[in-house]
Structure 1
Amino acid sequence: MQLTTIGFDADDTLWHNERFFTLTQDRFTELMRDHAPAEHLAERLLAAERRNIGHYGFGVKGFTLSMIETAIEVSEGRVPGSVIAEIMAAGREMLSHPIELLPGARDTIDALAGRYRLLLITKGDLLDQERKLAQSGLGDFFDAVEIVSDKTAAIYTGAFTRHGSGAAQGMMVGNSLKSDVNPMLDAGGWAVHVPHDLTWPLEHAEARDTDPRFHRIEALSLLPGLIRQIEMSFIEP
């Protein structure tokens, strides 16, 4: 056994992302304060996002369309055009916000580059994810980048086969149990959960604490040390 390939999630693993959704939703709540209480509005927006994932996919554009849909629904069609315009403007701002790397992201990637094949596997809007990767300054560290519509065991099996020696010799690192961790375990690989303070409700899932290939670290900077421990276990008698 050996690890040859390490995959990384992008949003809220390497750089901040969910906090911009949270701030925009707060702005949306304020814009709609005359039409619905905050708790009811949040429930309706989450329901719209859940309905629309299959149509719009993940990311800012789907979120913006879901806000517009929710505004029309809760106001029974009476929401002013000016509010719709502000929602669209908020979406455009999200698509242009500067990238801020999470602590330890660059040093961790730098420490692992050259020793392993590094993959970036992320989901969301294609243009937005490409923009964020370019602005992050991390692009040159990765041997391959895959921007996918969803993250499943089949997606990981394919990606780690195309760009590595298979999922069994691969590791996926990310903040989402639902998208980054559990599907990689299903594919037969290693998975490392790096929790983030903010997690989209639709990304919640149960941790598979009893799976020997599951690990959790509290900071990305701890990843190289964890990998050394795992590799030592391969050679212990």
Structure 2
Amino acid sequence: MEVDFSHIKVVGFDADDTLWVNETYFRETEEKFAALLEGYETKNKIDQELFKTEIENLELYGYGIKGFMLSMIESALDLSNGNVPSSTLMKILDMGKQMIAHPVEVLPGVEEVLTALMPKYRLIVLTKGDLLDQERKLEKSGLKRFFNHVEVLSDKKEGNYRGLLNNLQIKLDEFLMVGNSLKSDVIPLINIGAKAVHVPFHTTWAHEMVHKKAMESTAYLELRGIKELLMYLK
């Protein structure tokens, strides 16, 4: 569907799996977690239990690695009926710490795109997750210099976006959001009158998935890679 970007003055970027790799490390840790608990349940049951616990805990812990760690510990206790040894719980904590300490892998084309857009547009980061972790990743990525503003949101719903753009005095029709999640980075923006670009990542958390059929009448642009953004923002 054709979208007019001629009035855009501010471009917002999601961080995880848009600027740098993130979800891949969660999936790898889930595999390790399932292997750690294989004496108690099947891999399928362990995966289901962990996902269910994560969703139930979102309101308490929010998004990010720390909440994921706590959900893994809770799931391990539930799946083992409280019999999981302390040594296994320590291994789970270590897996979470390894995720936090993991080097930041900037995605291909990101720096080229930001370099080209910075002189022409106001660039901001709009992401969700743990504040300390996201600040750390932005610093380690080397991308901080490109952005006028960085905001770590508790969630990415219409109200979150509307309130933030209002606070930053950004007009809805002058704002474009770029991200990998249809649920978090596209639909809420379209619903409030802004514009959005979807740059899919090869791995998506189940909680962020949206059936493509639900998007058929939504006016947004989907790219094969972030470098294609330069074809539309002149």
Which band: TM-score by shorter chain? over 0.9
Given candidates 219, 223, 226, the residue that maps to 2:229 is 223
User: What is the rounded CA distance, in whole Å, between the counterparts of 1:190 and 1:211 in structure 2?
Assistant: 10
User: What is the rounded CA distance, in whole Å, between the counterparts of 1:183 and 1:84 in structure 2?
Assistant: 38
TM-score after normalising by structure 1: 0.93
Q: What is the aligned partner in structure 2 of residue 210 from structure 1?
A: 217
- CA deviations 1:127-155 (Å, max 9, x no partner) are 10000000111101111110010001122
Q: Which amino acid aligns with 2:102?
A: H
Residue 211 of structure 1: CA displacement?
2.5
Is 1:96 aligned with 2:101?
yes
Q: Which amino acid aligns with 1:226?
A: Y
Q: Which amino acid aligns with 2:162?
A: T
> SS in structure 2 opposite 1:95?
helix
Given candidates 123, 131, 135, the residue that maps to 2:136 is 131
> SS in structure 2 opposite 1:93?
helix
Is 1:192 aligned with 2:194?
no
Residue 189 of structure 1: CA displacement?
0.6
Contact 1:68 1:87 in 2 (8 A): yes
Q: Which runs of 5+ in 2 are unaligned?
A: 1-5
Residue 164 of structure 1: CA displacement?
4.9
TM-score after normalising by structure 2: 0.94
Correspondence 1:43-62 to 2 at 5 A: 43-62=48-67
Is 1:158 aligned with 2:148?
no
User: What is the rounded CA distance, in whole Å, between the counterparts of 1:143 and 1:83 in structure 2?
Assistant: 43
Residue 169 of structure 1: CA displacement?
1.2
Q: What is the aligned partner in structure 1 of residue 3 from structure 2?
A: none
Q: Give the stretch that moved more between structures: 159-168 or 177-186.
A: 159-168
Given candidates 3, 6, 9, the residue that maps to 1:4 is 9
- CA deviations 1:28-54 (Å, max 9, x no partner) are 011101011100000000000010000
RMSD: 1.2
Q: Which amino acid aligns with 1:148?
A: L
User: What is the rounded CA distance, in whole Å, between the counterparts of 1:182 and 1:206 in structure 2?
Assistant: 12
* Aligned residue-pair number: 227
> SS in structure 2 opposite 1:108?
helix
Q: Which amino acid aligns with 2:35?
A: E
> SS in structure 1 opposite 2:232?
helix
User: What is the rounded CA distance, in whole Å, between the counterparts of 1:201 and 1:21 in structure 2?
Assistant: 12
